[in-house]
């Protein structure tokens, strides 16, 4: 999986390509990810609500993807308007259609932008949100320094980041060892392509001039028996993994990984023994209310 300058909620969300079928599959994966993690994400929004110092009226979603974070925040903060930023016009179009379906079109604006070029200059926001997007950045510290200037004094930045990708198949069951070895290949890729993944973002947020007020793990451990939704989520995740590592696996592991997706008895969509484990981390940081005015990087 390769570094790319756009961001969403799962894995290497926006590989550079023009394949609309692949775009659709990725969009479906992002939506499934949000559905499976609905409980933990509701808890995250409750954490934010505990820390806000005023009603949340303006939200900036950086790396919005299909809008799962945007819409979750809008449901939680009923008086808010959100600006959803992403580098993929296809993702933003899907987000706009979803906003129409939900009757939220008047509360959402979209902006196509590459965060590695610059954080867009916008009116100050009460809450900035970045879910699984910061680790894609070429220079996250520069981007964070720019981002701070878009948050009003006293406003918040909430960051959710992942340390790795979800596991599904128990090691001692068919396909489990192959999935584990595929994850090992992905971990090596991440060390090269996304070195910021797994960072202590609390340190980076502090360096950017923010004050970290919450730092906690988000642990997902969904034991079997698994619902059909979990099978769909596992299939979507493993298909992307397969595309990234299958040609580097030994024949035995490649065949075992194939069997998890081929419609047979080992296919994850037909199994009830899947065990979803993944861990992410939440940081909520505040721009100090009494901070001196900030100048955007590169400004005169």
Q: Which two tokens stand for residue 212?
A: 């970290």
**What's the CA angle centered on 126, arms 106 and 26, to 5 degrees?**
60
Mean of the pLDDT values across residues 206-225? Answer: 96
* Res 10: pLDDT: 37
Rg for the chain (alpha carbons), in Å?
A: 19
Domains of the chain: 20-167+196-222+279-286 (3.40.50.150)
**Is the pLDDT confidence value at 298 over 60?**
no
Q: What is the pLDDT of residues 40-67, one digit of tens each?
A: 999 999 999 999 999 999 999 999 999 9
Give the model's confidence band at 104: pLDDT under 50 very low, under 70 low, under 90 confident, else very high: very high
Residue 291 has what DSSP assignment? P
Model pLDDT, residue 26:
81
Q: What is the pLDDT of residues 133-169, one digit of tens each?
A: 898 888 999 999 999 999 999 999 999 998 778 999 9
Q: What is the pLDDT of residue 22?
A: 60
Mean pLDDT of the region 259-283: 95
218 in Cβ contact with 281 (< 8 Å): yes
| pLDDT above 60 for 3 | no
How far is CA 251 from each of CA 26, 231, 243, 259, rounded to the nearest angstrom?
Answer: 26, 24, 15, 12
Tens of pLDDT along 73-95?
A: 999 999 999 999 999 999 999 99
Neighbouring CB atoms inside 10 A of 187's CB total: 13
Query: How much is the pLDDT for 15?
Result: 34
Determine the distance from the C-alpha atom of residue 162 to the mean position of all C-alpha atoms in its chain, rounded to a whole number: 8
Sign of the alpha-carbon torsion through 191, 195, 197, 201 = positive
Query: Tell me, what's the pLDDT at 195?
Result: 59
Burial of residue 112 (number of CB atoms within 10 Å: 0-12, 13-18, 19+): middle
- Strand (E) or helix (H) holding 277: strand 276-286
Q: Quote the CA–CA distance of 9 and 69 in Å, as a whole number.
A: 8
More confident call, 6 vs 24? 24
Average the pLDDT over 180-205 and give the result: 85
């Amino acid at each position: 999986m390769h570094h790319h300058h756009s961001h969403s909620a799962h894995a290497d969300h926006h590989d550079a390509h023009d394949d609309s079928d692949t775009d659709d599959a990725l969009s479906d994966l992002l939506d499934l990810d949000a559905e499976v993690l609905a409980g933990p994400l509701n808890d995250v929004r409750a954490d934010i609500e505990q820390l806000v110092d005023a009603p949340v009226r303006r939200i900036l979603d950086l790396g919005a993807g299909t809008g799962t974070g945007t819409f979750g925040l809008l449901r939680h903060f009923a008086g808010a308007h959100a600006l959803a930023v992403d580098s993929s016009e296809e993702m933003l179009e899907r987000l706009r259609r979803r906003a129409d379906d939900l009757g939220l079109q008047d509360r959402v604006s979209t902006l196509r932008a590459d965060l590695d070029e610059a954080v867009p200059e916008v009116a100050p926001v009460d809450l900035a949100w970045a879910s699984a997007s910061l680790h894609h950045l070429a220079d996250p510290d520069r981007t964070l320094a720019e981002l701070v200037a878009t948050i009003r004094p006293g406003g918040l930045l909430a960051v959710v980041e992942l340390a790795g990708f979800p596991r599904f198949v128990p090691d001692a069951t068919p396909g489990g060892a192959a999935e584990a070895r595929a994850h090992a290949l992905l971990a090596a890729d991440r060390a090269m392509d996304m070195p910021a993944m797994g960072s202590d973002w609390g340190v980076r947020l502090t360096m950017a001039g923010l004050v970290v007020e919450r730092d906690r793990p988000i642990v997902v451990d969904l034991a079997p028996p698994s619902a059909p939704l979990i099978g769909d989520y596992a299939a979507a995740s493993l298909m992307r993994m397969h595309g990234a590592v299958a040609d580097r696996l030994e024949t035995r592991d490649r065949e075992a990984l194939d069997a998890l997706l081929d419609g047979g008895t080992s296919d994850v969509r037909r199994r009830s023994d899947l065990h979803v484990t993944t861990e992410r981390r939440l940081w909520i940081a505040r721009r100090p209310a009494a901070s001196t005015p900030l100048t955007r990087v590169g400004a005169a």
